[in-house]
Amino acid sequence: MKKSLNINELTLEQKIGQLLMVRGFIDDNDRKFIYEMMEKRAVGAIQVPWNLCDYAKEIEEINKHADYPIIIYSDMERGFPPDGNTIPCAMSLSITGNEEIAYQFGATTAIDAKRNGYNTVGGPVVDLLDGFNLFNVPRSFGSDLEHVSKMTSAVLRGEKDNGVLAIMKHWPIAPDVRRDDHVFDDKSKLTEEEVINSVLVPYLYAMEHEGVDAIMTAHAYYPQIDDTYPATLSEKLIGILRGHGYNGLLMTDSFAMMGILQNFGEANGYALAIKAGHDLILPNYRTPFKTAYEYLLDSYKKGAFSEERLNEAVQRVITAQNITMGKATANEISDYQKKCFETIEKDSICLIKDDDASVTPKQNSKKLFVLIKENYYREGVDITFEISETGGITDKNIDTIKEKIIAKFPECDITVANQYPCAPQVETVCQKAIDADEIIFITYSTSGCYTLGGEFTPQLIHLMEAVGEDKLSCIIHIGNPYPLEATPHFARRLISVGGGVKSIEKCLSVLNGEYEPKGKLPFELILK
């Protein structure tokens, strides 16, 4: 049984360590230092990415060295993939509009997390959208405040009921924050009153109905509220949350992200974040933990933040750690919960079509499928990214996708072009289009970190135009739907905001007439 920490028994060095989350192990020396700090009870939390390490082995080692309830964290916005209980993305859950299913998703995620040694879950995401967002769509529940509030709270309730520390994020992402702060900063035009009446609403709803134990902040700027600092470092923006009754753990987003790192640096940034009211720092994972620790300790000794602020932050970390000792209601996922995941996968497919178009193409037509493959290049790149999942058509899955298409449409033709199609690919598509009666594009919009948005390239749009509007039958689109606004007219648009082979296969089943999709996008697309 883990023993809770007592702030009155902690030294300065232990307190400083409690304000930091380990992001991984740079090398053997870094690993040795981290384990020593855990044994000294001088680490607040550790992130164990399930997709970047042998997470079971890492968690076992952590529990050997930490005799207190250290926070063991991972992002689980889509569920826990190693156990197979995942949804395409948060937006797919939102599309169903079903709060009971949202609750079961949260509960299942927490049960999976607990039985695999995790005690803290990153999610749900509460970022709001508008009609120009090209980054956070798959991670969001949409733009309608009531809908976002209810779906967020349902997920949160499922997680909290099953003993994990659930971290809502990212405060405050307003609808007009559209750029990826992994790469560069972005500014909102909202005033404090407008933030309170929009961005804050889902947080207040969750605080009232479920209770909120932890929130992650963002690096976005709100010049109308604070013309100097982003939310991560802003006492004014943190003060809005605290002033409306939030007294739980406040954690920064990653200090590896360029929107904060390039403007303020690490050592100064860590100290400013604590001074502003944060309790836990998510450091730069490219920096050894010892260095991050020394930055923060040195800042405190130089008077960057007060002893009172230090003790307040440490006590909130300890309170959050104690929450992680809660128990899940079950050790296994029920058949009912598995059925809920199947429902999300199926009911999140959306169809937008002309009034006179049927769900399926013509039965005996000659069909050409044009697969748009990602320009994904990793040769010679050894950088570990914050979130590096892909969900489009790649060299790894393209043969499987072709097999799925042929299984549904045996007589079809298939060709491939890149997101930036080269001249031979363009010529091949156009040549094959001559003999086709109907042309179906399968596209994907990457809107994860470091992708600089998810727009279709002009070359791809021109390729669609080149084959002729009279033959353009359908576009099966996976990922962020907003790039579809740039495409020429299609009779049908099948949309899954998820990713990967499974989502494409579901859309092919709709196109084949096996079922009619029920999903409705919780935002408006302006299509040609």
Residue 250 φ then ψ, to 5°:
-120, 125
When the pLDDT of each residue in the chain is averaged and rounded to a whole number, the result is 89
pLDDT higher than threshold 70 for residue 245: yes
pLDDT (mean) for 48-63: 90
pLDDT band, residue 498 (cuts 50/70/90): confident
Q: CA of 116: how far to CAs of 57, 59, 81, in Å?
A: 10, 9, 12
- Enclosing H/E stretch for 14: helix 12-18
Instruction: Report the topology of domain 14-326.
Output: TIM Barrel (3.20.20)
Of 314 and 480, the one with more pLDDT: 314
pLDDT in tens, 146-196: 999 999 999 999 999 999 999 999 899 877 765 565 555 677 889 999 999
The per-residue pLDDT for 441 is 96
pLDDT higher than threshold 60 for residue 134: no
Pairing, β 45-47 against β 85-86: unpaired
The per-residue pLDDT for 182 is 59
Instruction: Report the topology of domain 349-511.
Output: Rossmann fold (3.40.50)
Rounded to 10 degrees, the C-alpha dihedral 322/325/329/332 comes to: 140
pLDDT higher than threshold 90 for residue 255: no
Q: Are the CB atoms for 351 and 509 separated by under 8 Å?
A: no
pLDDT band, residue 438 (cuts 50/70/90): very high
DSSP letter assigned to residue 84? T
pLDDT band, residue 263 (cuts 50/70/90): confident
pLDDT in tens, 92-105: 999 999 999 999 99
Please state the pTM of the whole predicted model: 0.90
The per-residue pLDDT for 387 is 52
Q: Are the CB atoms for 324 and 164 separated by under 8 Å?
A: yes
Q: In this structure, is the dihedral angle defined by the CA atoms of residues 17, 20, 24 and 25, taken in order, positive or negative? A: negative
374 CB-near residues (< 8 Å, 6+ apart): 390, 392, 393, 394, 418, 419, 444, 446
The per-residue pLDDT for 388 is 47
Q: How far apart are CA 151 and CA 141, in angstroms?
A: 7
Domain ranges of the chain: 14-326, 349-511
Q: Are the CB atoms for 113 and 77 separated by under 8 Å?
A: no
pLDDT in tens, 204-213: 999 999 999 9
Q: Are the CB atoms for 70 and 43 separated by under 8 Å?
A: yes
Lowest mean per-residue pLDDT among 66-70, 71-75, 481-485:
481-485
pLDDT (mean) for 359-365: 82
Q: How far apart are CA 34 and CA 76, in angstroms?
A: 24
pLDDT higher than threshold 60 for residue 383: no
pLDDT band, residue 450 (cuts 50/70/90): low
pLDDT (mean) for 35-58: 93
pLDDT band, residue 375 (cuts 50/70/90): confident
